[in-house]
Amino acid sequence: MKNKISIIIPTFNRAHLISETLDSILVQTYNNWECLVIDDGSTDNTKEILNDYIKNDSRFQYHLRLKNLPKGANACRNYGFELSQGEFINWFDSDDIMHPEKLELQLKLLLDSDAYMSVSQCVDFEGAIDNIKGLKNKFIYKNDNLNSFIQNKMKIFTPAPLIRKQFLLSHNLVFNNNLKRSQEFEFFSKILLINPTYVYTNKVLTYVRKHNESISYTKMNVDKIMSTYRSRFFLIEEHIDKLTQESINQIKKRIQSIFLLLLQKKEFTQANLILKDVRRNKKKIGLKFLFKLYLTNISFKSLGKGERILKM
């Protein structure tokens, strides 16, 4: 049967939540789907729960992340993509919920067009699905999607799109296993660099569970800090010709704040890596910006402070 959809769900210790997610898939009005749950090494009874679903419906699959793959949702998503048999891909999360018509409506948008991706609107909910907290973001489409996305004027969240598999394969688009944070930003930036035009619906078709598990920016470890940096710097290094000045300025501000945070944490080795990157791209990013980073670096190493230099 044509137009099969592969739903790929990474999970880790979500046995207490994943049934709600799987139940929302079971009641989809579109039936030609497979659901691949990729376990990142759960220590709860996730496997037992999945086995019950598989016994009742063979469209569900349970796979353990291969031991040779790095731990994390990115590797699980990519492994699920390798195993998938559908013509369309919907990455989803193991604690979120689909509207019953999500697959049907978004597939129709794609089949009625030659677009590579359809995107739906998302809302946050807390606890029960009827406890809606509001839209994840007001806009999921703008006139200049790439630069609007970079500037946070519009957002695409991982569970929201339905994407043609061939588009992903032809452009070798996968999640970056090396990133510990901002992988979603990097992934959709790469998609929008290739083609910023897609179809969408403002109907809420994705319900994203809100947690109290998030950590503040300043409490992130070095790997997450550097992942945030790398997910953005490649845009200036490789694609600056597609960026507006506002986007460039926003990326520079983020790099500046990351650089300062590293110096405050006395992570001088990582700060030096940023300096090397900026120096290598000084014509693109500007000598004044490089000079401020150098002065701030010297000030922190000698005096333990230097925040004011970056505001010059």
For residue 131, CA distances in Å to 125, 128, 208, 213, 252 come to: 5, 5, 11, 18, 38
**CATH code, domain with 174:** 3.90.550.10
Mean pLDDT on 146-160: 96
Are 9 and 79 members of one domain?
yes
Are 60 and 106 members of one domain?
yes
When pLDDT is cut at 50, 70 and 90, the band that residue 1 belongs to is low
Are 98 and 240 members of one domain?
no
Of 192, 209, 226, which marks where a domain is finished?
A: 209
| pLDDT over threshold 50, residue 83 | yes
Are 239 and 177 members of one domain?
no
Percent of the chain with pLDDT over 90: 89
- What is the C-alpha to C-alpha distance for residues 143 and 109, in angstroms, rounded to an integer? 19
| pLDDT over threshold 50, residue 312 | yes
Mean pLDDT on 12-34: 97
Of 209, 234, 262, which marks where a domain is finished?
A: 209
Are 30 and 154 members of one domain?
yes
Number of domains in the chain: 2
Are 203 and 238 members of one domain?
no
Residue 302 has a CB neighbour count (10 Å cut-off) of 9
Q: Please tell me the predicted confidence (pLDDT) of residue 218.
A: 53
Are 153 and 293 members of one domain?
no
Q: What are phi and psi of 87, to 5 degrees?
A: -85, -15
Are 205 and 253 members of one domain?
no
Single pTM value for the model: 0.93
Question: Domain range holding 221?
Answer: 217-311
Are 150 and 290 members of one domain?
no
Are 165 and 270 members of one domain?
no
Least confident residue range of 14-18, 78-82, 220-224 = 220-224
Of 185, 209, 233, which marks where a domain is finished?
A: 209
Are 167 and 25 members of one domain?
yes
Are 117 and 236 members of one domain?
no
What pLDDT, in 10s, does the model give residues 178-187?
A: 999 999 999 9
